[in-house]
Structure 1
Amino acid sequence: MGVTVENVLRLPIFEQAKVLTKITDKPVQWISVIETPVENFVRNNEFVLSTGVGCGDDVTALEEYVKDVIRADASALAFATGRYLYKIPDRILKIAEEHNFMIMEIPWEVRFGDILHDVLRLISEEKQTGQQRAETIRQELINCVLNGKGLQEITTILYDNTHIPAAISDHNKQIRANQQFDRYFLDVLNGKENEAFQLVSPEPFSDHPLVHYIEKYEIGPHFCYQLTILSNYKKQGYLLFKPEEDHELSWVDLSILEHTLTACALYFVKENAIEMTEIRLKDNFLLELAKTEVDIDKSLLAKAHLLGYDLEKPYVCLVGDIRFKKQIDGPVGSEEHSVQSSSMHSRNYYIQKEVTHAGDVLKRQTMTTFDEGEVIVYIEADANTYPETANQFLDLVERRLHELLAGITISWGVSCHKDGLYNFHQSYEEAATALNIGRQKHEDGDRTFFSDTRMNRLLMALSHEKEIEFIVQNTLEKLIEYDQRRQTDLIHTFIVYNKYNSNVSQTARALNLHRQSLLHRLRNIEQLTGLSLLDADDLFLLELSVRLWMLKKIEK
């Protein structure tokens, strides 16, 4: 608690002093000589010396002076009697007793300068002792983190040295440690209880720098304080504490709270570094598993086990292409969230979180990694039900993701189920191929199963034949050049026309074109290719050439 009135009275210089009212245990943070008028010259917990000059025999003026000192929340008032005052009136003492305020007399011969010197030295020594104590606790807190201990140990050190109940939460308001802090207050602040609370500006109760960062919550007739834990300007969590009264927070207590805040920030930085290292190890492991043909031996299985993976289960691979439809501003989770302005790390965090959640719901193991705008997921699946499992899994992921990240779409490619184990690279290649084929055929956000791409894979095999490649080039060369030169899209026009089985009206509606404009485009296609869209063989040749040409674009 620091220096108190009782400590001051034990000084030898006060041996001849006479205490006229009850001695209080109020803290003494400063001492000064103040005469009338008091105004705002007296601060909280200040030991006031006075000669009573200006009041003289005017008891009413003396009464107002004493009341002003009491209102300023001073620690005590000492009058030097013998010249301006010879006796403190009983009515003054009665007022002091009513306010539990201490008044004392000092012989006129005792110099104020000597009193100031002795009291200030006592305050300085106590402050130095407090600083040394706070420094010892600071080192204990730092060592606690460096030695691998957790947030609960940090709150224990704080409570043992201050007796202030405290709790620590992460940035999501999840309680990570609690030491005698009322759980009801935590539930109110986290919305688990219906009682209202409000954030108010705390009245300054100290000149410690930490006071400016303290937030005060009022919960009915009660209150508690909160400090934000920051590192690299990023919010890591919160330190909550609840002293019985404001005045219980001494300078030393505030210094210990400040050191606790630093220890918490260090702990979260260390935790984040460990988490990021684990994420990098997992990413590198899964990327190597997916993109290279590796031998699955005992050593690799053991490494996978250390990372929390079981490679001896059957998996199918899902490869997703992450895209954004629009950009809006606002907080995560609202309709105004800007996914394009959010960091890749944050975006991947939400995707990883929802993949894990969906796997838990379906009771299937999952393994996830990211690579240049691509998400790669292995999900445990049975041979007969893997399409159903994949669709259920993706339904869960996408429904929750669209609530968290407005504007995001993910197109998916899904591999076939393998009867044997350890086909991770082959599964990835199949899923990536299915994704590439699906992106040419569907809108963003669709799913393509490798088992449904047989026709396209057959065409891809044909497209590598030299003679077929020559036929395709000869058929489409002028059409491609015309599109590039005129910034038109005749090839897309033909694709839509063929999709609607040569129905002009349906094609015009799909392309949002006037019927005559569509007919003009179709005539251009016939002139440039030398083929008739009314001849079945010509139509087949043009369709085959366009599909082979588009598959070649996918490979590039």
Structure 2
Amino acid sequence: MRRERELSSLYATARSLTALGEIDVVLDSIVRQAHELIGTDFTYLSLLDDDGELVLQASEGLISSSFSAARVPAGTGVGGRVIATGAPAWVSNYLATQDVPHHDAFDDLVLPEGMVALLGVPLLVGEEVVGALFAADRTERPFEHDEVALLSAFADHAAVALNNARLYAESRSALAELQAAYRTIEQQVAVVERAQSVHESLTGVVLKGGGAAEVAQLLVDHLQGAVTVFDRTGAVIAQGRHEGGVKQPDRRPSPDAVEQARRSGRWATTTDSTGLWHSAATIQAGDTHLGALLLTREHEPAPIDVRTLERAAQIMGLLILKETAVAEAEERVSGELLTELLVSTTPTNPTRRARAQARGVDITALDTLVVAESTGRTLSEVSRRLHALSTSHGGLAGEHLGRATLLLAGGDAETTAETVHARLRRELGTPVRVVAESVVDGAWGRAFDRASRCCDLMATLGVTDQGATAEQYAMFALLFDPDRADDLDRFFADSLAPLLAYDTRRSTQLVATLTAYFQHGGNLTRTAAALHVHLNTLLKRLERVDSVLGDDWRTPDHGLPLQVALRLHALRTGA
């Protein structure tokens, strides 16, 4: 009776799989129904990538989010044996067994997931193994022959459904291309051939990983004239023009056509006072505006030209979305690794070093930490700029505890602070605070704490636009808690407010005079020389200080707070 129920469930499941179309839906359904059928603690499905690694694609019953990113290198683990032999394989205790080669990265995921017993069966399309289906328990046990046979039979049906889904996706894509080609049949044969050529070329650009410049030049080759590609902010990112054709504009051409296309969500054509025709097609993803394509010619574009421009805009949208997705994934991985380095008690373990090296990052060389913030830009915007900088310097960047953070091999912290500040200031177009701190003995977390405190102190002092090191503010970070800004304001009021008010009221320079006086250790001759004033002038200024602060400002009890206040004032004003 049990065998009959299992077979009945297997065939019912197989029938339901044949009704599915989308690959993601098929993968999720395979795992879900396999989980219900086999009855283990959790089930997952992995497919082979181009490097021969098994990459987890769908799962059911997992408790650890990190396991969903599991990858099994070729030749390792139960999955490696399944792929190599094309036959089922199982172990009753994965971590304890020596029957299969282990891989540290995967083993690190097994413990938090609690996986013990593991059964894997191949997904076969013809004679080719395309992946494996796994059933796992969190207790040690063997897998019975009936269980192996049942999961294998289900995997055979699942492989057929998966292959059908792939064929369905390919046929649907081919159908979409056919429908697009049929819309051009109304045109003359020569026009149809040209449109097909453009479409094939645009598809080739996507397949070869081309970008905006390739799309622009392709349109120029087929449509003549000049082509301009704008990003979502209206900035020109690519241009091209046909040899002997219309001159490429030196400034942003025909904003009317671009704006009209953006408002319509499709395309628009305008003419200008010189007789040029401007046709613009908006680049969109849903309701999100990603940019625009602009064709400028001396004669009116034909309908097929406009449709070609629209199709090119769709291709550009796909390219932009792909680049955005890749960038976001890259930023996420970089940020996760950065956080691990900052919070881990053993940040340089072999697994983490290997992950960093795979990204071209040498952990041991990361000797400078940078935090940055801008009141005029969001945290994600600042982090994105730091990430772009990290990729060109073999570093890591991301968000940590609400701060945009960068780790790189900078060497000199002061030079790094100035360089990063200059670049962020230029790219963000707003004031930005940047603090760099040298990392000692791999203590990245300690460097982050110091840089963060310094950044808070700069904000408390009213410093909005500066690149500095934590060392420059070290003494003041010890003296003042940035969360007690009111106390700091009262300190200023008690120490410097009378002198600042006197300077403002009388247009004098008592604050500058005292700053120079303390800088030169109270030496009157050197102070007068530094201020470029006569000694008698200096003495008169100091007499005015006596009248404002009292005669005891030179005593240690009053002189030290006054010197600290003067230094903080210089940092706040950038003097």
TM band (smaller chain):
0.3 to 0.5
Structure with more helix by fraction: 2
Larger Rg: 1
Q: Structure 1-normalised TM-score?
A: 0.44
Bigger RCO of structures 1 and 2 (CA < 8 A, at least 6 apart): 1
Q: Structure 2-normalised TM-score?
A: 0.42
